[in-house]
């Protein structure tokens, strides 16, 4: 086995300082463990609805940092494959990633990205800059292009709190296309099949001076609108007590809102929609 000795133990490569990229190390010694390893024969195309897909995820900056949220539904064609999928994950202390697209590949990519950032910091002695983290994720997505062309696309959404930004730290949002194109977004963004409706809601609700609670309510209203018009997006499930995942990143680091807080805000959103089904209006 490549990288191992005849007894099956790790070889010298595992104990010799080398590249600060764990992805490059894995590609050299255990390439089949990469999520970009071809899951289907070259030239084949995956039929629609054969693998679970996740939507919808969104992010917005607010007064103290940046918020990232996602619904919990995964679908296979017209079927609900999972109702409580976790689409929002911390990448390190001041960075988080959410995903839309093929669930299995996305989860593997998120785990690899988490290790990538930790490995870099251990080898170099300093964490990556936020811009470098965004570029490194773009390179990983680009390596998945062959699978994306076969119907197994992964489209992440990256957010972070930039401690080194000129004029003081602030939240930043990065989006990607299936070929690894990197785009920084101002104020808010959404990905997934419900993203047009979520972005439309955020366009009328967003203000730069939102508090954490106001930002969380705006995110939940946007996800409610997405679920209202997109069958692949799941809204708050009061009966099963399944609610969107909402997390924030500030100068103090990553924090996932407690389940009790997310439930309370979700129930408030549903109550507001009972009186105004089309949602809150834009502030004057």
The residues assigned a catalytic role are 55
**Phi and psi of 121, rounded to 5°?**
-65, -35
C-alpha angle with apex 139: 112 to 48, nearest 5 degrees? 75
Residue at token pair 């999972």: 82
Q: Whole-angstrom Cα distance, residue 80 to residue 253?
A: 34
Cα atoms found within 13 Å of the Cα of residue 120, Cβ hemisphere only: 19
Token pair belonging to 16:
């010799």
Q: Are 163 and 251 within 8 A, CB to CB?
A: yes
CA dihedral 96, 99, 102, 106 (to 10 degrees): -10
């Amino acid at each position: 086995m490549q990288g191992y000795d005849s007894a099956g133990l790790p070889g010298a490569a595992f104990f010799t300082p080398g590249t600060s990229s764990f992805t490059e190390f894995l590609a050299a010694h255990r390439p089949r463990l990469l999520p970009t390893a071809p899951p289907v024969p070259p030239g084949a195309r995956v039929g629609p609805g054969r693998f679970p897909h996740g939507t919808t995820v969104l992010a917005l900056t607010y007064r103290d940092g940046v918020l990232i949220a996602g619904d919990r539904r995964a679908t296979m064609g017209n079927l609900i494959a999972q109702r409580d999928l976790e689409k929002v994950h911390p990448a390190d202390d001041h960075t988080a990633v959410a995903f839309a697209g093929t669930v299995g590949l996305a989860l593997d990519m998120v785990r690899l990205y988490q290790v990538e950032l930790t490995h870099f910091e251990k080898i170099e002695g300093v964490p990556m800059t936020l811009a470098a983290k965004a570029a490194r994720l773009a390179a990983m997505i680009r390596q998945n292009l062959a699978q994306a062309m076969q119907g197994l696309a992964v489209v992440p959404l990256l957010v972070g709190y930039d401690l080194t930004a000129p004029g003081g730290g602030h939240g930043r949002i990065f989006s990607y296309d299936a070929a690894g194109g990197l785009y920084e977004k101002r104020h808010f963004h959404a990905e997934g099949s419900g993203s047009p409706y979520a972005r439309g809601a955020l366009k009328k609700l967003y203000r730069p001076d939102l508090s954490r609670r106001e930002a969380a309510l705006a995110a939940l209203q946007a996800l409610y609108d997405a679920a209202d018009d997109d069958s692949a997006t799941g809204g708050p499930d009061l009966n099963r007590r399944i609610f969107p995942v909402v997390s924030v990143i500030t100068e103090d680091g990553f924090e996932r809102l407690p389940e009790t807080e997310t439930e309370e805000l979700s129930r408030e959103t549903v109550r507001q929609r009972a009186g105004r089904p089309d949602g809150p209006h834009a502030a004057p």
